[in-house]
Amino acid sequence: MSSLLAVLDAIESEPAAVQLRTRSYELLGDLAGRTVVDAGCGSGRAVAELAERGSHAVGVDLDPEMIAVARQRWPAGEFHVGDAAELPLETGSAAFYRADKVLHVLDDPARAVAEARRVLAPGGRAVLLGQDWDMIAIDSDEPETTRRLVHAKADSLPSPRVARRYRNLLLDAGFTDPIVEVHTGVFTDDTALNLLRRITDEETWLAEQAERARTNRILVVVPMFLVAAQA
């Protein structure tokens, strides 16, 4: 858990990641005094940032260990162990909903989006944010091996290509007026190497990437889909 948190913290602290979270908050709207649920909140950083913007922020995550970490790190936040497909909120009780890098780990993302629609009050707003695991670009001297490893990682996930479906999932759940943005995360330091270690443990391939990192030649590009819509 500690090693995973260290990687997540490093990624979330990247300037591009901070800017992307900020943009997701902007797309939600005026948060002051209103309830926003962050589904799949992980260690709770976004919940704390949403609360700083004046909202009543509620974090939900299926992992009890993550919720324990979130409660320890952000004692002012409200956190619950729960499933994104069965949120511990009353129907129509939230003004905003946010899911960041969550739907790709779900077997049925459409069910989670329908649940978002349930908990939102009329006129509420949802924002979905995440990467398409088939679209990650990595500079390598072994392009065929790289392609194989990226696709193998994607195929190991329940819904690796769900990000490209965000707009249609929202429309299918009854949301309207979707806004679609694609932001590009560019990693050229040790964070890139940490990301690649989450993709594969193939030592020979990773050795080449480690050498690239040592000589300032590593490059990992991750397109991030950001979609907002009205309930």
To the nearest 10°, the Cα dihedral for 43, 44, 46, 49? -130
pLDDT at 60: 98
Determine the average pLDDT of the residues in 130-159. 96
pLDDT at 9: 75
Determine the average pLDDT of the residues in 148-164. 97
Determine the average pLDDT of the residues in 126-132. 97
Determine the average pLDDT of the residues in 180-185. 94
Q: Which of 114, 48, 123 is nearest to 86 (CA)?
A: 114
Q: Residue 54: left (phi > 0), alpha (psi -120 to 50), or beta? A: left
Judge residue 175's burial from the number of C-beta atoms within 10 Å of its C-beta, 0-12 exposed, 13-18 middle, 19 or more buried: buried
pLDDT at 90: 96
Average model confidence (pLDDT) for the chain? 94
Comparing 76 with 65, which gets the higher pLDDT? 65
Q: Is the dihedral of CA 230, 167, 79, 84 positive or negative?
A: positive
Q: Where are the domains of the chain?
A: 2-132+158-185+223-230
pLDDT at 190: 86
The percent of residues in the chain predicted with pLDDT above 90, rounded, is 88
**Dist CA 55 CA 122 (whole Å):** 18
**Dist CA 2 CA 119 (whole Å):** 33
Lowest mean pLDDT among 1-5, 80-84, 160-164: 1-5
Q: Is the dihedral of CA 173, 179, 184, 190 positive or negative?
A: negative
pLDDT at 3: 67
- Whether the pTM exceeds 0.85: the reply is yes
**Dist CA 80 CA 68 (whole Å):** 9
**Dist CA 41 CA 67 (whole Å):** 8
- Which residues touch 179 (CB under 8 Å, ≥6 apart)? 27, 227, 228, 229
Architecture of domain 2-132+158-185+223-230: 3-Layer(aba) Sandwich (3.40)
